[in-house]
Each structure stands twice: as C-alpha cells, then as structure tokens.
Amino acid sequence: MFVDDPEATDWTALMEEAARWHARLEDGTADLGAFEAWRDANPHHAVAYARILDTADSIDALKDVDFSKDPGLRPRRTPTRRHWLQAGAGALVIAAGTGAWVLTQSRAEASTRVGERRSLTLSDGVRLELNTSTRIAWKTGRNGSQVWLEQGELSVVVPPSVKPCKVTAAGRAILMTAADVNVRLRASALEVTVVKGDCTIEGVSQPQKVEAGQGALVSGTETRVRPINERDLDFTTAWRQDAVVFNGQTLGVAVEEYNRYLPRPIVIVDPELAGLRIGGRFSTRDPADFLENLQSSFSIHVTVANDGSRLLSK
C-alpha cells in the first residue's frame, strides 16, 4: 500500500504499475472500472499516470524531427510493440532512478476477421466498433485520441465530456467532438456518415463540415456532402446489430454488401438477376433467410458449389 508521504512512496514501482495500466488501456485489454478504481485509490496513482501521459505527449512532439539535417542526431532503433509486450511493460520502457519514463512511438492495433465484429473503449472514453475485415491503430494522449483506419469500416462514438477524436483514413483527417460517426474505406473512396453531432473532414482544399443526417463521399480531391434519410442510415449502420438492411437496393448491390461478411461468397450466375430490387432485414451471421427470401419472392434457384459458394440463377 502507498502512503501519503511522498518520501515514503516507492515511485519506481508505482511508475511501473502506471506504465502497465497505460499499455493495457492503449491496446484495449484493460478493465476500465478496475483502472479507475486503482487511479482513485491514492493521489500518487493519479500523479504517476499523469506523468506517463505527459511523457507520451512529449515523445509525440518529436515525431516530425528531421534527424538527417544534423549528422550528430541519430534516431535510436526502436524495438517493436510486440517486444515491449513480451517484456511485460506494454509500450513503455522505464529507467528506474533517472526520472526518464520513455514510451515507444508504436501504436496499439486491433483487427477483425471476415464476419467478425469487435468493440473497444479507449482510455479517454471514446468507443470504437470494428466491422468485418477491419484493421485500425490508435494512440491516446492528453489532447485526445488519434485513430487510424487502415482497412474496412469503423464506428466512432465520442461522448460529450471527452476531448476531440481524430480519425485518419485515406489521407484525410476526420475531427469529431460529441459525435457518432461511421467511417468506411471503399476501393477508391472514403465514406463518412454522421449519425449524431458533426465532424470536419480535413486534408482537402477546404475543411468540410458534415452534420447529423448527412454523408460525405471523398474521392481524390473531391468531397461530396449529401443529405441521408432513415433508409440510408439503416443501410449504413445495421452492421452494428449484426444485420444488413435493404430498402430497394438492387440484388447486385445487396450481394456485394452481404459478401463482406461471408467466407464463401454468393455469386450471381445470371446477370439479369442483378437488377432486381429487394428489401428486408437479414442477419450477417447466416445468409439462409436471405437466400430463402430470394427463392420464395423471385423464384431464384440457389445452388451450393463444391467450394461452398452459393450460386444464384433463374
């Protein structure tokens, strides 16, 4: 137990403990309630954790230094985040007795497989949800969280009491405060849908504000903002409930959307079928109801191929 006398506090052990909490919070493995209980149990705990965050921010400030301009300055080879995790200190290195609490510049990472959905709560309270086949990285500091969407689709909820969150995707920065935003990387475009609040998309000629009830499509240097209705919103966000929702989309669009969640795809054999308009709500976990609906409503034949693919034909 730590006592109130600063001289009697074992700061080396305490900073190590704070470092481990920071590492677990960064990679999403910490119990947030347990962390808050530890932090609030003793003022020294809060001080130690604040020092760790301060050091993290200080190192972030060095990331743009060009060492090549001064031959006397050489960046030290930094071990990977995996090495630090194996060492038991997460992404932190502690120099006991020197007052130097150094963090690597590595970012925490998370991903999902095809058909998988995953939820994370960052240390500042930002809630992330990863859709199928998605890969992200993130860092959290005193100025808020930074998230990098590298593949797939992400839901970001920033509570009102939390500092702004920045999401970077396809070379664009999306800034949000007290908002619920869906961000999806498509093959050649970035799609941003605002469910609540608003966000600002930077990295284009002029920052573009997108408000609740609007969606933005970013392609090249062009950003197009348009209003979205409830049907559009259902189509975009149904995945958060492990569902796909179709409201008049063509079968071609519906199959493309459904295949994101399936290890073995649905294939339209007869091109004439692709233009059929369909509707309904179906589970991303199992396409059986979707396929049965196609058979009963449109007399479409469904055949299972040797590799497990479902073939649609007249």
Backbone Cα Rg of the chain = 24
Q: Please tell me the predicted confidence (pLDDT) of residue 189.
A: 92
Reduce the DSSP state of residue 68 to 3 states and report it. Answer: helix
Q: Please tell me the predicted confidence (pLDDT) of residue 122.
A: 93
**pLDDT > 70 fraction of the chain, expressed in percent and rounded:** 78
For residue 308, is it left (φ>0), alpha (ψ between -120 and 50) or beta? left
For the segment(s) 108-232, the CATH number from 2.60.120.1440, 3.90.1150.10, 3.40.50.720, 3.30.1360.70 is 2.60.120.1440
Q: Which position has the higher pLDDT, 62 or 135?
A: 135
Mean pLDDT of 237-265: 97
pLDDT at 266 over 60: yes
**CA distance linking residue 139 with residue 148, whole number of Å:** 9
Mean pLDDT of 39-45: 86
What torsion, rounded to 10 degrees, do the Cα atoms 9, 87, 61, 129 define? Answer: -100
Summarised one tens digit per residue, pLDDT across range 277-301 is: 999 999 999 999 999 999 999 999 9
Mean pLDDT of 149-159: 97
User: In CATH terms, is domain 242-313 a member of 3.55.50.30?
Assistant: yes
pLDDT at 55 over 80: no
Quick one: CA dihedral 129, 132, 192, 200, positive or negative?
positive
Summarised one tens digit per residue, pLDDT across range 180-201 is: 999 999 988 999 999 999 999 9
Confidence of residue 49 (pLDDT cuts 50, 70, 90): confident
Alpha helices of 146-287 — where are they, by DSSP H? 230-237, 251-258
Confidence of residue 57 (pLDDT cuts 50, 70, 90): low
Burial of 226 (0-12, 13-18, 19+ CB in 10 A): exposed
Domain span(s) for CATH 3.55.50.30 in the chain = 242-313
**CA distance linking residue 108 with residue 138, whole number of Å:** 5
Helix (H) or strand (E) holding 281, with range, is: strand 277-283
Residues 6+ apart with CB under 8 A from 306: none
Q: Which position has the higher pLDDT, 47 or 95?
A: 47
Domain span(s) for CATH 2.60.120.1440 in the chain = 108-232
